[in-house]
A and B are shown apart, each in its own frame.
Chain A
Amino acid sequence: MELARLPFRRIGLRLTEGIDSTLLVLMAALSMLGLLALFSASYENPGRVVSQVMNLAVAVAAMWLVAQVAPQTMMRFAVPAYVVGLAFLVAVALFGDVVNGARRWLHVGVTRFQPSEMMKLALPLMLAWYFHKHETSLKLRNFAVAAILLAVPLGLIARQPDLGTAALVGAAGFYVIFFAGIGWRVLGTLAGLGLAALPVVWGFLHGYQRKRVLTLLDPTTDPLGAGYHIIQSTIAVGSGGLWGKGWLNGTQAHLEFIPERHTDFIFAVFSEEFGLIGNVVLIVLYSLLVARGLVIAANAATVFARLLAGAIALMFFTYAFVNMGMVSGILPVVGVPLPFLSYGGTALLTLFIGAGILMSIHRHRKLVQT
């Protein structure tokens, strides 16, 4: 008996090695809520739920693999990942596919992918590596170099144009610079300059992007176009009330008033059916996830590890905040999926790989400290 059980136990130990149970439980809870909402949102195509389960399986496997890689090894990938990502972005600008008026996709063999998605992790990895290299002698010059490392991919992504992803990649890079200790005075100056530059940025925006910002300010100006998304999703959230209309009972979702209801606007479906109570549960879960990430960052062994962990933790926050803010009508409509809930394999993969990095950093927290 004992002998027979032993190998299984060993396999079990091997499989759970390096996996942070807190993170895993939180992500599992969020994914479950996601599947519930997805089932309701895809009543006309139940196959989507099955394929999302497949996406989850792939993402968990990727997370497990990444969790087995030591942070020191990851550092070696920082520069190649960044350079390759940058090369892909240039390739997209030159030969990418145009979908919905934006050049975002690149063909690789039989499949195609969005290099900007890769930058979401490659950029913080690169910046964390850069600050780690110059840890003993950080000067303003270093921050200037970091700003350039950030600006180049950002410009390429914004040019596609994909402002949503550009904002997310930019945020990830900014978090690294912030955690690396950029002076408050510098930060304040930059913020002031940024505000002053807003009218210039406005001039560079595409027509539909300007429209989205204007629509946010007054959705009723465009009830059949861009404003329609916001009006309908706000109605869905508001009509959900305290307790929600109940699972599978959302009229906004089921009478097809909510566009993109299984991807970017899945929160409208969730919120309509589970109400304020459901939203609070969701916010608490995200808060705990971010908190866990920040704790891991605070205890990390090296500069590289802590900067990367801090940035990833805040990335989770940013995605959740931007998406929920967009659906509830306080942020402009940009293509940002709700982490762990929206349908789609690529976003899940990025999130779970991010979690895998956190797990690896947590596991190696003491090794170098002594």
Chain B
Amino acid sequence: MRGSEIRNSEQELHQFQVRVGIAGVAVIIAFGLLAARFLWLQVLQHDVYQAKAEDNRISIVPVTPNRGLIVDRNGVVIARNYSGYTLEIFPRRVKNLERTIDELTQYVDITARDRARFRKLLQETRNAENLPIKNRLSDEEVAKFAANRYRFEGVEIKARLFRQYPFGDVASHVAGYMGRINQEDQDKLEEDGVAANYRGTDYIGKAGVEATYEAELHGTTGFEQVEIDAAGRGIRTLSRTPSHPGNNVTLTLDMRLQQVAEIAFGDRRGALVAIDPSNGGVLALVSKPGFDPNLFVDGIDPQYWAELNGSIDKPLTDRAISGLYPPGSTLKPYLALAALETGKRKPSSTIFDPGYFDFGGRRFRDDKKGGHGVVDLYKSITESCDTYYYHLANDMGIDAIARFLAPFGFGTRTGIDIAGESLGVLPSPEWKLKRFKRPADQKWYPGETISIGIGQGYNSYTPIQLAEAMAMLANGGSMYRPHLLANIDNANSGERREVPAEIVSTVRLRRDNVDFIRRAMAGVAKEGTAARAFAGVTYTVGGKTGTAQVIAIKQNEKYEESKVAERHRDHSLFIAFAPVESPRIALAVVVENGGFGARAAAPLARTVLDYFMLGKVPAGMDQPTPEDDTAVGTEEDESD
């Protein structure tokens, strides 16, 4: 038995080794066949295939589409295309880049900035075929270079379309800017399955509307079959599938209103958001200082980029949607409404204000030394009485306050259609528990509720949240998603897509309570804290001033503006709506370090409202619109 097993196993091993041998022979035969095939293709038929490779001269060249226009609600152009000549270098065809650029300076004015920008492009986009060394050549430069073109292998003049923003830095945060497609963008395009449509496209929307509606604006890339020579240069076009221009985007923005607001800001920092309360359309969205998006168009030069990024004014930050500010007294109308809705106060109920409110051994001071005397709810708003709201906040408690304010969008992103919105902070014990790590910091102290009542403490909201809440108060409680897009026009079919107003939520409010608050806010402009700013106004307007502390004031110290550094001065705020009976505009203004709300923000709002209601143009704005001459966008492609 055992013997046969061994023999069996030996036999098996022998059989296996025979089969390994057979396999080896089969492998040799198969590889031999392959080698014979290679010999046939590469030696015997080499001439045939060599000729075929030489003849392989049809290359597919993308035809870049024209980018869609961005216009405001009245058709005023915010972004358009502009055609110009660029001088482009094909780095892989040039032997000595530095020397070639040196030699080019004889014919074309190439500055140190151009060189720096070119070097940066070369670093960032390693696999690009050609890169611009100089944009927007003059006719003379084009002629000079053309005459000497034979001397520069790998340098060519190209006709290209550039993005142009006729208003410069006006509405720069709304329009956003374009930039070269980087690796990250490329990955995103591939993930979205649209990379093929971006062949031949060098730039992509990086911020603002340019980024949000990139897919609409870009258009469809066409293709040309081009006969090429052995070096890959095009000789003759064989066939052509035209590109289709991108769609035109119309915004709800009123560019002239925007311009009025920006002129009113002057050199001051801050933000303004104006919304149509009946549908959430954004009428103006200002963030100052801005930047000139035209400078990003042809590859921003490193120096200007460093200036923008390094500036303490942070011009690239969109304060209107990402700046966080304590609302100060602009929160009072909502707290007053909360008091009425929850039954904590009646319009007639009064307090006596001695000028302070003592709580837990601490004295909370009113802005007015000596106090406002007897104060009812109406007067608490028109005169902005702090003591009244210290009492009210204490009576309501933090939970009830947070519960009432949350549906107005405080501390929630509004969902506006540009990126970069901040969340803000609606303070509550739950928020504090989540925000802080140490148990001692997590506890909510009753004293903290008192400051919440006058919009200080942890309260911090974006200007667009303040405007959104104002719009809700103005329309009686409907929250529309704020949006910049009004409609999209298909440049090919002429078809128009409207953006319907979207109600996010509705707060149930009693009509008489809302009317009371509106009346009180009208009183602010008529006889209250903003009376001087609105002196002689011919339309009805409701508003509320606010002042937000930038640095904490010690308990027994009085804030004195002259003693405080400019950047530590209070922020000036104002919220407003007009006309009072059937509001068409709701806005929020923040002037950073502007001092009292009544002084900086309220007059600014007045200027904006005067233009909106009466068409009154402020001084310094004689030419409201740059003339519209060279816009390219709706026509069929003109690029090469």
Contacts and interface: CB of A to CB of B under 8 A. Distances in A.
B17 A241 contact: no
Interface residues of A, number: 51
Interface in B529-565: none
Which interface residue of B17, B19, B30, B42 has the most chain A CB atoms within 10 A?
B42
B241 interface: no
A255 B228 contact: yes
Nearest to B56: A257
B45 interface: yes
B212 to A, nearest CB: 28
A276 B27 CA distance: 19
B31 A321 contact: yes
B15 interface: yes
Interface stretch (B46-54, B248-256, B431-439, B588-596): B46-54
A46 B42 contact: no
Nearest to B11: A181
A23 interface: no
A237 interface: yes
B60 to A, nearest CB: 8
Contact of B46 (A241, A298, A306): A241
Interface stretch (A32-40, A198-206, A322-330): A322-330
Given A181-B16, A242-B43, A255-B59, A234 B34 contact: no
A255 B46 CA distance: 20
B31 A238 contact: no
A111 interface: no
Interface in A211-231: none
B38 interface: yes
A234 B42 contact: no
A324 B36 CA distance: 12
Interface in B1-58: 5, 8-9, 12, 15-17, 19-20, 23-24, 27-28, 30-31, 33-35, 37-39, 41-43, 45-46, 48-50, 52-53, 56
A235 B42 CA distance: 9
A76 B43 CA distance: 51
A93 interface: no
Contacts of B33: 330
B27 A314 contact: yes
B16 A298 contact: yes
A99 to B, nearest CB: 12
Contact of B50 (A239, A287, A328): A239
Contacts, number: 122
B623 interface: no
B45 A238 contact: yes
A339 interface: no
Given A181-B19, A239-B53, A251-B53, A328 B30 contact: no
B126 interface: yes
A112 B17 CA distance: 41
A306 B39 contact: no
B23 A321 contact: no
Given A255-B56, A297-B20, A279 B42 contact: yes
Given A239-B52, A239-B53, A287-B28, A328 B37 contact: yes
B69 to A, nearest CB: 32
Nearest to B230: A251
A147 interface: no
B38 A328 contact: yes
A283 B39 CA distance: 13
A298 B17 contact: yes
B373 interface: no
A95 interface: no
Contacts of A313: 23
A88 B232 CA distance: 48
A252 to B, nearest CB: 6
B348 interface: no
A324 B34 contact: yes
B53 A237 contact: no
7 contacts: A43-B127, A44-B127, A235-B49, A257-B56, A271-B38, A286-B31, A317-B30
Given A279-B35, A287-B27, 9 more contacts: A46-B126, A136-B5, A234-B41, A238-B50, A271-B38, A279-B42, A280-B35, A283-B31, A310-B20
Interface of B: 5, 8-9, 12, 15-17, 19-20, 23-24, 27-28, 30-31, 33-35, 37-39, 41-43, 45-46, 48-50, 52-53, 56, 59, 126-127, 228, 230, 232
Interface of A: 43-46, 135-136, 175, 178-179, 181, 232, 234-242, 251-252, 254-257, 271, 275-276, 279-280, 283, 286-287, 290-291, 294, 297-298, 303, 306, 310, 313-314, 317, 321, 324-325, 328-330
